[in-house]
Amino acid sequence: MAAKRLFSIDDLWSLARVGAPSVSPDGAWACVAVTRYDMQSNEARSNLWLLSTDGRVQRQLTRGKHDAEPAFSPNGRQIAFVSRRKDDGESGTDKPESSQLYVIDVDGGEARRITHLETGVSGIRWFPDGKRLAFISWVWPGLDGEDAQNKQSRKERKDKVQAFVIDNNHYRYWDHWRPRGREAHLWVVDAKGGKAHDLFSGTRHFLPPEDPDASMYDIAPDGRHVAFTEQRERDPGAPAFCDIQLLEIKTKKSRNLTAGQAPSHEYPAFAPDGSTLACLASDYLRAHNQQARLALITVKNAAVRPITDAWDFGVNAPVRFSADSEQIYFSAEKGEIQPLFRVAARGGTPEEVCRGKGHGGTTGPMQISADGLTLVYLRAAIAYPPSLFACAANGENERAIERFNDPILAKIRLASSESVTLKGFAGEPVQMWIIKPPGFDKKRKWPLMQVIHGGPHTCFGDAWHWRWNAQLFAAAGYVVAEVNYHGSTGWGQDFISSINGDWGRRELADVEAGTDYMIKTGYIDAKRVVATGGSYGGYMVAYMNGNVKNGRYQAYVCHAGCYDWVAMMGSDGYYWFGQELGAFPWQDEARVLAQSPHHYAASFATPTLVIHGELDYRVPYYQGLAYYNTLRVLGVDTRMVFFPDENHWILKPQNSRLWYREFLAWCDKYSRPRGKTAAPARRGNPQK
């Protein structure tokens, strides 16, 4: 056998990226979108694949370029999906303006285009009888019918004035402006094609505007009603409270099932018997960052009953019922892993269904077959990218059901990882990951890279990260430390809320405790330590630059970091910061400044690489410019990598390759890692 090589950036982008599964009614098959990237063309291609849930067969079903969101029909004979193909644009241009709905037979053949709605299609679901499909489209609420929408769409595209006139709170999200004058509506179309109809036409209903998908609604088993998530206010501040609405499709009469309830309710899912709905509930009156709990709604009388309020872990969407409507399945962060759980619909303590080998992994989107016998789900870990698994409903007989990345991973020497608990802020327990380079020898002295996660209300789980990949950092010769500091999710609500109105101090103490822990191991060179982070992690390294003694860290990397909380009022999440910081700047300037890195600029001394994308609306790009400019004025060694075509994340293959090479070159410049493990991840011309 050939010797295994170290993991490289080209390996990372050669791996297939497996999407969320749809499972056939009998549980025999799963369908997923599989995306592959080409480094030379700098583009992605996504196709649908059929996988037998016994793991024996994987067969490519479509050969388009942008095929996604597969959904099995109720009889299991067809698969609906969305795609952008050359005939989907105006007048059949080669550059389609929007995705459309297609249906293909499971046995193969040509896909049939179902919709011709130029405002686009996403978030698809079949009606239980298999005769119709529902989907989401961003449309002009005052226009009735497909023809009127298409006419207005063409007019908008040809308009020489593309200015936005704004008189609402929220007008852009993440990396895009909300479509002018449009709302997200539910539509229905016959499965054989024809005119599509707007379910919300003539009503005041709308879906939440933050990229709504199929998890925002569900169709009743009898096909007569649809339940969906709707914001209580059309233009809320923060947080945005939501209700579950029940709409009778024929009459368009609606009923608010959660009216008058304190928690915000989202992500409805019907039980197979149609009598109840499961949903997620977050009581923002208790805490603005309240983790989601599971709740059950009786459809007949709109009685809402909490299910997991006594269980101090957040529940993730989607949630799924067992075939007999007695059990509810979901994933949840529990510490540093995210297993599958189930809980009785009548209530009780959730029980773990299954977790992955090793540490346990992170389970993502999950489906259960209509017969209730088979679970199909994605799981990832530090040691492997998202992969598709299946098991029995009781968690037994777990098996991998795809092998897309096996040929590449079989040739790679991957890093090992361990989870430790240390004493952080005020001596309280804090979890930390340690990822060691392949060929690690504890007798050697190694450079340390602290990687600080964003959020802050997320966590470093046993998970694969495409943009901050610990395997690549370890392959470059670094021991990687990842601290789940105060404010991280997975350790209960009190831990999440512990940093409210006091950002920086506890997190810094936790990261510093992690660095101390690593130096005390004896295999870390205390003169070769760097700290890196993105988003909130970028905020932390900027905060550390003004609050940690110079020389403790040899260099920082700040990606998309929050630098100036006063200027962060230009963020798409500006309403939220008044909650998290405990005040807006004009309410308590001293409190806000104490949490803002720019307030400590006079103490900046550590060399810093600043990275930002111009399309970043969450942490606007001028935050990175301000930090870089300040470091230049202060005479601190700095460098900026600026991407005019990227958002909060670096998503294009060639940009990502440059990102990793600049990132590692900067860390190498100050930590000077030695040995053969340092070179492969950075070899070659970053512009090539």
3-state secondary structure 179-221: CCCCEEEEEEEECCCCCCEECCCCCCCCCCCCCCCHHHEEECC
**pLDDT value at residue 86:** 77
466 in Cβ contact with 439 (< 8 Å)? no
Per-residue pLDDT of 203-220, as tens digits, reads: 999 999 999 999 999 999
Helix/strand/coil for 296: strand
483 has pLDDT over 80? yes
Q: Is 413 exposed, middle or buried (0-12, 13-18, 19+ CB in 10 A)?
A: middle
- Residue 617 pLDDT exceeds 70: yes
Confidence of residue 682 (pLDDT cuts 50, 70, 90): very low
For the stretch 339-372, pLDDT in tens is 999 999 999 999 999 999 999 999 999 999 999 9
Q: What is the mean pLDDT of the chain?
A: 95
d(CA 185, CA 135): 8
**What was the pLDDT predicted at 91?**
44
Whether the CB-CB separation of 74 and 126 falls below 8 Å is answered with: yes
Candidates 289, 226, 297; CA nearest to 261 is: 297
Q: How confident is the model at residue 390 (pLDDT cuts 50, 70, 90)?
A: very high
Domain limits, CATH 2.40.128, in the chain: 62-201
Within 8 A by CB and 6+ apart from 549, the residues are none
The rounded distance, in Å, linking the Cα atoms of 510 and 200 is 49
94 or 566, which is more confident: 566
How far is the CA of 62 from the CAs of 41, 65, 594, 641, in angstroms?
21, 9, 55, 38
How confident is the model over 667-672, as a mean pLDDT?
Answer: 93
Q: How confident is the model at residue 108 (pLDDT cuts 50, 70, 90)?
A: confident
pLDDT category, 87, cuts 50, 70, 90? low
Min mean pLDDT across 78-92, 107-121, 127-141, 512-526 is at 78-92
pLDDT value of residue 238: 85
Q: 450: which residues sit within 8 A by CB, 6+ positions away?
A: 481, 482, 483, 511, 514, 515, 529, 530, 531, 532, 553
Is the pLDDT reported for residue 631 higher than 80?
Answer: yes
pLDDT of residue 686: 33
pLDDT of residue 162 exceeding 70, the answer is yes
Q: Is 133 helix (H, G, I), strand (E, B) or coil?
A: strand
CB atoms within 10 A of CB 537: 31
In angstroms, the Cα distances linking 664 to 476, 556, 636, 682, 686 are 8, 11, 19, 7, 12
Percent of the chain exceeding pLDDT 70 equals 96
Please determine, for residue 282, whether its predicted confidence score (pLDDT) is greater than 70: yes
pLDDT value at 681 more than 60: no
| 3.40.50.1820, 3.30.70.20, 3.40.47.10, 1.10.3230.20: CATH of 415-682 | 3.40.50.1820
613, two tokens: 């994308």
C-beta of residue 384 within 8 angstroms of C-beta of residue 409: yes
Q: How many residues does the chain have?
A: 688
Residue in 384, 337, 341 with CA at minimum distance from that of residue 360: 337
Sign of the torsion angle spanned by Cα atoms 508, 513, 518, 520: positive
Q: What is the CATH number of domain 62-201?
A: 2.40.128
- Each as own residue / partner, the long-range contacts of residues 322-327 (CB below 8 Å, 24 or more positions apart, any chain) are 322/368, 322/372, 322/393, 323/272, 323/368, 323/370, 323/371, 323/372, 323/373, 324/272, 324/372, 325/271, 325/272, 325/273, 325/275, 325/276, 327/393
Q: Where in the chain is the domain with CATH 3.40.50.1820?
A: 415-682
**What is the DSSP-derived secondary structure letter of residue 570?**
G
User: Quick one: pLDDT at residue 675?
Assistant: 46
Span 88-94, mean pLDDT? 48
Q: Where are the beta strands (DSSP E) in 73-113?
A: 78-83, 100-105, 112-113
DSSP string, 503-545: TTHHHHHHHHHHHHHHHHTSSEEEEEEEEEEETHHHHHHHHHH
| Burial zone of 84 (CB within 10 Å; 0-12 exposed, 13-18 middle, 19+ buried) | buried
Query: Bridge partners of 315?
Result: 332
The burial class, CB within 10 Å (0-12 / 13-18 / 19+), for 165 is exposed
Q: Is the pLDDT of residue 593 over 90?
A: yes
| Rounded Cα gap, residues 544 and 503, in angstroms | 12
Shortest CA distance to 432 belongs to which of 366, 394, 382, 398?
382
Mean pLDDT along residues 108-131:
96
With 0-12 CB in 10 A as exposed, 13-18 as middle and 19+ as buried, what is 52?
middle
pLDDT digits (tens, 9 = 90+) for 536-591: 999 999 999 999 999 999 999 999 999 999 999 999 999 999 999 999 999 999 99
* pLDDT average, residue stretch 473-496: 98
What values do phi and psi take at 155, rounded to 5? -60, -45
Q: What pLDDT, on the 0 to 100 scale, is given for residue 96?
A: 54
Write the pLDDT tens digit of every residue in 54-63: 999 999 999 9
- Please, are residues 161 and 152 in contact by the beta-carbon 8 Å criterion? no
Are β-strands 327-331 and 340-344 bridged in parallel, bridged antiparallel, or unpaired?
Answer: antiparallel
Per-residue confidence at 66, pLDDT binned at 50, 70, 90? Answer: very high
Q: How confident is the model at residue 688 (pLDDT cuts 50, 70, 90)?
A: very low
Give percent above pLDDT 90 in the chain: 94
Q: pLDDT tier at 672 (50, 70, 90 boundaries)?
A: confident
pLDDT of residue 215: 97
Quick one: which of 549, 667, 562, 660 has its CA closest to 608?
667
CA distance 30 to 19: 11
Q: What is the pLDDT of residue 88?
A: 58
- Return the pLDDT at 3: 79
pLDDT for residue 683? 35
Cβ atoms 568, 619 nearer than 8 A: yes
Q: Would you tell me the crossing angle of helices 505-520 and 536-547 to the nearest 10 degrees?
A: 80
> Checking DSSP bridges between strand 172-173 and strand 132-139, what pairing results, if any?
unpaired
Residue labelled with tokens 């067809």: 78
Task: Give tens-digit pLDDT for 528-542.
Answer: 999 999 999 999 999
Average pLDDT rounded to a whole number, residues 288-306: 97
CA gap 100, 221 in Å, rounded: 25
**Residue 438 identity:** P
Interval 91-119 mean pLDDT = 85
